[in-house]
């Protein structure tokens, strides 16, 4: 997360596995997608490739969220019944249909330039790999019956709905591809959409319900993005990617990262949540985190700056707003455990309030926390204002309140009506 709060530990989920997989397509080699990796360059990584650490949003992988080493992919046993192996099923159900051939019990379907104009359907009960060249697979791909799916869609291909299931699904969509809705219901979902400023890429939204999901949208790709199941990892970066609602609600760890992206509401729930918004024009709608355990929201360098609220609830919350133009709406926490809100360098232009359990609010610098700053939870309240911050009402209540105003901060004084008050700076009566 590139930094820690002063005086309290950062709260947030661990990063998730990000796996991007595509199918090699010889017919597509050498094609350029306007600054994006070429289809073949991406495909050559193979089924077990991982995102390099220097890729946008490519955090380190963690063993906790990796698929089990013995998870079946490719030629998993078929459901054809006793005594029938995957290769036999493949020969019967795959070859001669949708340009399919069998490779070790996996159905491999190759649709070169402008081929396969109708929907491509993978056989049930065996693994399936589909390659769609430029402008191919005109009605999308249905891989919902296969035991595993690997689908690669080159520029302008896969124009219908995309469905996949099984133990694992890996889908890669280049510029203008995957224009229909994407629905992944596999054990592991890995979806990569690279728009090259083409909003039609994955333009009808991405939905994943999986034990672990990694959904990545770049260069204007993706509209609504939704993830639930177990662990959810969503990356939206560059060119107003993820222009619709983004939500992660996995039962375990959830992470949403937006940079010059996420044009509407960002919502996170589950057990733990980390929402990371960076740069002006990012997270333009309401940002909400409501995980049952820990929540961390980080708005930096002008993010969360469209006048909409940043809200946090659950057990524990930390919210950080850094640099002028960040968090221009209200910042509010209703966490029942502990809350830490940190505003600095001109951030937090709306009310900053906390009314759950224990609360610490820190405002640093001229033009920071320019409206009401209030902590009224039943626990301990701490409000620290430094160097010209906190120019309107500062109010604390609860069992105990400690307020500090230094360097011309708290120009209207501090109202304390807690059970016990300790105030450094001007103290004024509560109206």
pLDDT digits (tens, 9 = 90+) for 241-261: 999 999 999 999 999 999 999
Question: What does the domain layout of the chain look like in residue ranges?
Answer: 16-63+75-264, 295-431
pLDDT at 92: 85
CA–CA dist 96, 143 (Å, integer): 17
Among 371, 392, 386, 383, which Cα is nearest to 418's? 383
pLDDT at 58: 38
If DSSP codes are grouped into helix, strand and coil, which group holds residue 26? helix
Between β-strands 206-218 and 246-250, what pairing exists: parallel, antiparallel or unpaired?
unpaired
Residues 155-169 have pLDDT tens digits of 999 999 999 999 999
H/E stretch holding 244 reads none
Judged against a pLDDT cut of 90, whether residue 174 lies above it is answered with yes
CA–CA dist 141, 179 (Å, integer): 12
Question: Mean pLDDT for the chain?
Answer: 82
pLDDT at 398: 83
Query: In the structure encoding, which two tokens stand for residue 136, read together?
Result: 């191919």
H/E stretch holding 421 reads strand 420-424
Write down the number of H helices and E strands in the chain: 2, 30
Query: In the structure encoding, which two tokens stand for residue 203, read together?
Result: 């333009």
User: Where does the pLDDT of residue 411 fall: very low under 50, low under 70, confident under 90, or very high at 90 and above?
Assistant: confident
Residues 31-60 have pLDDT tens digits of 333 334 433 333 333 333 333 333 333 333
74-83, 276-285, 401-410, range with the lowest pLDDT: 74-83
Judged against a pLDDT cut of 90, whether residue 390 lies above it is answered with yes
Mention every residue, 6+ apart, whose C-beta is less than 8 A from residue 395.
372, 373, 374, 375, 376, 414, 415, 416, 417, 430
DSSP per-residue codes, 58-116:
-PPP-GGGSPPTT---SSPPPSS-TT--HHHHHHHHTBTSTTEEEETTEEEEEE-TT--
Judged against a pLDDT cut of 70, whether residue 282 lies above it is answered with yes
Q: How far is CA 134 from CA 153, 160, 344, in A?
A: 8, 14, 48
pLDDT at 413: 84
Q: Whose structure tokens read 């002008």?
A: 302
Query: In the structure encoding, which two tokens stand for residue 260, read together?
Result: 């010059």
pLDDT at 426: 60
Instruction: Give 360-365's long-range contacts (Cβ < 8 A, gap of 24+).
Output: 360/7, 360/8, 360/384, 362/5, 362/6, 362/7, 362/386, 363/389, 363/390, 363/409, 364/389, 365/389
pLDDT at 197: 86
Residues 206-230 have pLDDT tens digits of 999 999 999 999 999 999 999 999 9
């Amino acid at each position: 997360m590139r930094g820690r709060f002063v005086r309290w530990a950062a709260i947030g989920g661990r990063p998730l596995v990000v796996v991007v997989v595509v199918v090699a397509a010889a017919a597509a080699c050498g094609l350029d997608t306007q600054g994006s990796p070429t289809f073949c360059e991406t495909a050559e990584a193979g089924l077990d490739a991982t995102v390099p650490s220097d890729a946008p949003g490519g955090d380190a992988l963690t063993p906790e969220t990796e698929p089990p080493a013995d998870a079946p992919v490719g030629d998993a046993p078929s459901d054809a019944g006793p005594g029938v192996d995957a290769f036999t099923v493949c020969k019967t159900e795959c070859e001669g249909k949708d340009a399919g051939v069998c490779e070790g019990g996996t159905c491999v379907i190759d649709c070169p330039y402008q081929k396969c104009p109708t929907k491509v359907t993978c056989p049930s009960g065996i693994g399936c790999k589909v390659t769609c060249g430029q402008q191919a697979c005109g009605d999308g791909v249905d891989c919902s019956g296969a035991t595993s799916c690997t689908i690669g869609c080159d520029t302008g291909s896969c124009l219908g709905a995309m469905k996949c299931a099984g133990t694992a699904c890996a889908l890669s969509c280049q510029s203008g591809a995957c224009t229909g809705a994407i629905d992944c219901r596999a054990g592991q979902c890995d979806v990569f959409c690279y728009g090259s400023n083409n909003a039609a890429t994955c333009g009808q939204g991405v939905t994943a319900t999986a034990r672990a999901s990694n959904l990545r949208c770049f260069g204007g790709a993706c509209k609504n993005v939704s993830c639930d199941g177990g662990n959810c990892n969503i990356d939206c970066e560059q060119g107003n990617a993820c222009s619709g609602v983004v939500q992660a609600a996995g039962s375990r760890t959830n992470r949403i990262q937006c940079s010059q992206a996420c044009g509407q509401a960002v919502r996170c729930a589950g057990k733990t949540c980390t929402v990371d918004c960076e740069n002006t024009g990012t997270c333009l709608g309401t940002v909400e985190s409501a995980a049952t355990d820990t929540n961390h929201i980080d708005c930096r360098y002008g993010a969360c700056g469209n006048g909409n609220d940043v809200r946090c609830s659950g057990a524990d919350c930390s919210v950080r707003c850094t640099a002028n133009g960040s968090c221009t709406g209200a910042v509010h926490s209703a966490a029942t455990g502990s809350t830490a809100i940190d505003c600095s360098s001109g951030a937090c232009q709306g009310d900053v309030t906390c009314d759950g359990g224990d609360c610490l609010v820190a405002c640093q610098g001229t033009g920071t926390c320019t409206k009401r700053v209030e902590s009224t939870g039943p626990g301990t309240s701490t409000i620290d204002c430094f160097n010209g911050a906190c120019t309107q009402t500062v109010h604390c209540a609860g069992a105990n309140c400690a307020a500090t105003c230094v360097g011309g901060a708290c120009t209207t004084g501090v109202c304390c009506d807690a059970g016990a008050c300790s105030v450094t700076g001007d103290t004024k009566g509560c109206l």
